[in-house]
Structure 1
Amino acid sequence: MRVKRSQLIVIRRAPGNPRQARVQLAHGVVTAAVGRGGILGLKREGDGGTPRGRFPLRMALYRADRMQRLRTVLPLRAIRDGDGWCDDPRDANYNRLITLPCARSAEGLKRKDHVYDLIAVLGYNDGPRVKGRGSAIFMHLARAGYSPTEGCIALSQRDLTRLLAQMRPGTRVVVLG
């Protein structure tokens, strides 16, 4: 029996700009923003770096009040009031989707800006979770001008929507330095 190779989405640092990247999609190469700390081989909580490595995509979250349900093979869920992501290494729910409010530090997912209108959760530091190694590493929507993120990978809405639609089971994101 022949085994199909997983589809890879390759992200490479843009020449001359450590805070931007190039992403190969089926329709061509597109621009993305990466962390203000660049792409790092050793990621730590709060360093602003995008982790280097090969990661599965776990799920997609979207703002149903701002966009239509999209096509993807990923588990898909609308972001709810009170959804958050724990970024406190001392919490038992570190690097997990949680319900706000919580006693520790967490990032709200239902934001006023549009950055989290669409999120693809990367399988980074989640099996097993290592406290302090970094949390909330997503692919999400880019700000104007592709300004740096806090460690995530940010694409235009058009490009992230296309990426999620072209995925197949087993797709991996490969982040190169």
Structure 2
Amino acid sequence: MMRKRIRASKRAFGLWVMALVVAVKTFGAGLDSSVQQLIVSVAPDWDASTGKLQLFEKTNGAWKASAPAIPVLYGKNGLVWGRGVLGTDEPGTHKQEHDGRAPAGVFKIGTIYTYDPSLPSGAKYPFHTVGAGDAWVDDITSPDYNKHVTIPDPANPPPWFEKQKMRHGDFAYRWLVEIRHNSDPPAANAGSAIFFHIRRGPTRKTAGCTTMAEDDLVKLIRWLHADKHPHYALLPRAEYEAKWKAWGLPSPQEAAAVMP
């Protein structure tokens, strides 16, 4: 009798472990507890190119909005699953190079790239001033795909450099806030060079970045703190409503200002 009980207990434990594994695969483990700043944007659906964005900070274990919601633009062809800290293993279509879609999921915020020698006054965040030798590689065959590189001699660049060098003097790229999609590590052809940057107009859609008015972007840059491990969550509404709790995002009620 005792042996039967032990075997039954083992079977029950095994079924519990299997259920837990399925739950983790289905819903993900959620945001790491170190994430204290979260940029949230919710699109109406997968084909949307416009939405709203809001900044949240965690206070006493709860997400609180730090600023009013602002309008943003996404990829000209809408959204598609990206490769970040959450969302990478979701079923469905995933981002590819030149597909004109913004990656959905949750992503770390990386370095800020700028033409200026410093960030806007009051900002304190890791940044890099773009020089003549800087490039962001979008060649899917390159070992440096989706990476920032600096060549040693801009006066004698390699053949690939001209097409992949970072632009100079383009107002929309004055501030490039890195969204670390497909970065840890990069997968060939899974999409590259995803940033927050200045919009080219109130209705000008992007190739996959998230854009906004310059004043709003500057406010975002001033708000960022590296020690709070900022992340970006971008999802269509239906996915957000299905995943917010398991992923540790603000509730739809807390994020009501960005819900379409």
> Same fold by TM-score, threshold 0.5 exceeded?
yes
Query: Of 69, 76, 81, which residue of structure 1 is paired with 2:119?
Result: 69
Task: Measure how far apart 1:8 and its partner are.
Answer: 1.1
1:80 match: 131
Answering whether residue 182 of structure 2 is matched by residue 158 of structure 1, we say no
Task: Measure how far apart 1:5 and its partner are.
Answer: 4.9
Q: Percent identity?
A: 25
Q: Which residue identity lines up with residue 170 of structure 1 in the other structure? A: H
Does the aligned pair in 2 maintain the 1:63–1:79 contact within 8 Å?
A: yes
Does the aligned pair in 2 maintain the 1:81–1:110 contact within 8 Å?
A: no
Does the aligned pair in 2 maintain the 1:79–1:109 contact within 8 Å?
A: yes
SS in 2 for 1:52: strand
Q: Which residue identity lines up with residue 91 of structure 1 in the other structure? A: S
Query: Of 180, 184, 206, which residue of structure 2 is paired with 1:123?
Result: 180
Bigger relative contact order, structure 1 or 2 (CA pairs below 8 A, ≥6 apart):
1
Query: Where in structure 1 are there 5+ consecutive unaligned residues?
Result: none
Q: Which residue identity lines up with residue 38 of structure 2 in the other structure? A: L
1:96-122 Cα deviation digits (max 9, x unpaired): 112364434753323343111000011
Q: Following the alignment from structure 1 to structure 2, what is the Cα–Cα distance between the partners of residues 141 and 107? A: 20
2:108 match: 56
Task: Measure how far apart 1:4 and its partner are.
Answer: 5.9
SS in 2 for 1:128: coil
Does the aligned pair in 2 maintain the 1:32–1:146 contact within 8 Å?
A: no
Query: Of 72, 77, 94, which residue of structure 1 is paired with 2:145?
Result: 94
1:175 match: 234
1:12 match: 42
Query: Of 78, 82, 105, which residue of structure 2 is paired with 1:38?
Result: 78
Q: Following the alignment from structure 1 to structure 2, what is the Cα–Cα distance between the partners of residues 170 and 148? A: 28
- Name the Cα RMSD after superposition: 2.1
Q: Following the alignment from structure 1 to structure 2, what is the Cα–Cα distance between the partners of residues 35 and 28? A: 23
1:148 match: 205
Q: Following the alignment from structure 2 to structure 1, what is the Cα–Cα distance between the partners of residues 230 and 132? A: 29
Structure with the higher helix share, 1 or 2: 2
Query: Of 148, 162, 166, which residue of structure 2 is paired with 1:109?
Result: 166
Q: Following the alignment from structure 1 to structure 2, what is the Cα–Cα distance between the partners of residues 165 and 149? A: 24
1:53-72 Cα deviation digits (max 9, x unpaired): 1001111011117xx52244
Are the structure 2 counterparts of residues 136 and 5 from structure 1 closer, same or farther at C-alpha, using a change threshold of 3 Å?
Answer: closer
Q: Following the alignment from structure 2 to structure 1, what is the Cα–Cα distance between the partners of residues 35 and 126? A: 21
Task: Measure how far apart 1:21 and its partner are.
Answer: 1.8
Q: Following the alignment from structure 2 to structure 1, what is the Cα–Cα distance between the partners of residues 44 and 176? A: 22
Q: Following the alignment from structure 2 to structure 1, what is the Cα–Cα distance between the partners of residues 189 and 69? A: 33
Does the aligned pair in 2 maintain the 1:61–1:78 contact within 8 Å?
A: yes
Task: Measure how far apart 1:81 and its partner are.
Answer: 1.8
Query: Of 186, 193, 200, which residue of structure 2 is paired with 1:136?
Result: 193
Task: Measure how far apart 1:75 and its partner are.
Answer: 1.0
**Superposition TM-score, scaled by structure 2 size:** 0.61
Are the structure 2 counterparts of residues 73 and 103 from structure 1 closer, same or farther at C-alpha, using a change threshold of 3 Å?
Answer: same
